[in-house]
Structure 1
C-alpha cells in the first residue's frame, strides 16, 4: 500500500510540474509582434488623419506617459504597453470620426488617464489633432450597453485590421450583433 501511495505521489507531482510548465510557456496575454503600418487602417482615405495624429504626439510626451504608466504598473512589459498605446491611438482616430466613442478597454483607459495628467501637453495634442479639447468621460457602466459595443466593433473592424492583441486589449469582437433596426437592410 505504501508503494502504491509513493508511486501515486510521484506521478501526481510529475503531472503538476507538467501542468505548471505548460501554463508558463503559453502565449502571453499580449504578444510581442510587429505593429501594422499606419495603425492598420484599411482605407487610404484616412491616411492623412493617421499622419496628423502621429505629428500631434510629440516624442517627449509619449515617453513621459509611458514612464508614468510603467512606474504605476511594473508588471506590464514594454511591448504590452506599446500595443495598448497603439490601440489607444486607434481609439483616438475613432473619436475624430464619430461624435462619441465609448471606452471598452480598462488598460487603454489607464493610458488615457496618464495622458491627461500632462495637462498642457494633452491640451496641445487635442488642439493639434482635433482642433479642440478631447474630453475624457469615464465609462461608469461596467457592463456596456449591447448596442454601443456592437457599433464599436463594427466601426473598429471596418476601419482597422484586428489581430490577436486587438482582441486581448478590447475584448472579443462581434460577441454582440448590431440589431437590424440600425441597418439599411431591405425587409427589415
Structure 2
C-alpha cells in the first residue's frame, strides 16, 4: 500500500509540474515577445566591416519580417529559458552573419549547434521561411541533416578566412565559434587570393547564382584582401583592441611561424575533440564554441543546406 501511495504521489507531482508549466507558458511567451520588441533594433546591426555591402545587410534585414522573427525567437527562448534576450540577440547576429556569408561565397559551413537550432526553428514555419528566402536570395535555402557528423577542418579554415575579414571579431564571436584558425592558417586561400584574377576567384569561391549586392561584396572582399595582404600590421593589437577588426591581426599571424603566442586570444588554440555536429547553408555546415550556446566540437558537420 505504501508503494501505491508513493507511485500515486509521483504521478500527481508530474501532472502538477506540467499544469504549472502550462499556466506559466503564456506568460513567458508574452514576456519573450515584449523583450524581443524592446531589443529588436540590436539585431539590425551586424557589426560588419566596410567590405560588406550596406545594401546587402539592408536586404537581409528587410527580408526577415519582425513578426516572423518574434515567433521564432519565442520558441527558441522556451527551449533556452535561462538565456536573456540580449544573449539570444547574439545568436541572431551570428546566424545573420552566416546567412550573409552563405549568399556571398560558394561554400560556407556552419560551426555552432545552437545557432543552427535557431535556423531549424525558422524552417518549421514553412511559408514564412519561403517568403524570407525569396526576398533575400530569390530561391529556397534548403537544409538537410547528414547521417553522422563529418570532421571538416578545411571547411572550418575557409569559414574563418571569410569571417575575420567580413565581420568584427569580438568576445561574442569567439564564444559562439571558438577561436579562429584552429587547424590551419589558410595558406592555400592566401595564395589563391594573392595570385588569381577576380574572374578566376569568382569562379572558384563566389556563390552562383547570387545577388548583385552579394557580388559587389565579393568584389570588395577581393579588392580589400589584395590591398591588405602585403602589409604586416605592427600595431595589429592596438587596431584590434580599438575596433575589433581582426584582419590585420590575421595577416600578421599568418606570416609568423607560431600558432598561438601573442595571438592566442583570437587564433590558433589547440583543436578540440570532435564530439558533435553542425550544418551548412547553400553549401555549408555548423560547429562549436565555448559557452552554453555551442556544442563542443571544433570542425564537424552534421547537417547541410543548399539553395534550389
- 2-structure distance, mates of 1:182, 1:58: 36
The 1:103–1:140 alpha-carbon spacing in structure 2 relative to 1, beyond 3 Å, is: farther
Q: Which residue of 2 aligns with 1:174?
A: 181
Q: Which residue of 2 aligns with 1:91?
A: 98
SS of the residue 1:40 aligns to: coil
Q: If each structure's helix is expressed as a fraction of its own residues, which one has the higher value?
A: 1
- 1-structure distance, mates of 2:63, 2:146: 25
The 1:141–1:79 alpha-carbon spacing in structure 2 relative to 1, beyond 3 Å, is: farther
- 2-structure distance, mates of 1:75, 1:117: 23
Question: Structure 2 unaligned runs (5+)?
Answer: 1-40, 196-308
Q: Which residue of 1 aligns with 2:124?
A: 117
- 2-structure distance, mates of 1:43, 1:139: 35
**For 1:1-188, what aligned pairs fall within 5 Å after superposition?**
38-43=45-50, 45-138=52-145, 142=149, 144-184=151-191
Deviation at 1:182, TM superposition (A): 3.7
Deviation at 1:39, TM superposition (A): 1.0
- 2-structure distance, mates of 1:69, 1:109: 11
Q: If each structure's strand is expressed as a fraction of its own residues, which one has the higher value?
A: 2
- 1-structure distance, mates of 2:188, 2:171: 31
Question: Structure 1 unaligned runs (5+)?
Answer: 1-33
Deviation at 1:36, TM superposition (A): 9.2
Deviation at 1:144, TM superposition (A): 3.4
Normalization by structure 1: what TM-score? 0.73
Deviates more, 1:39-48 or 1:80-89: 39-48
Deviation at 1:37, TM superposition (A): 7.2
SS of the residue 1:149 aligns to: helix
Deviation at 1:76, TM superposition (A): 2.0
Number of aligned positions between the proteins: 153
- 2-structure distance, mates of 1:179, 1:57: 33
Q: Which residue of 1 aligns with 2:296?
A: none
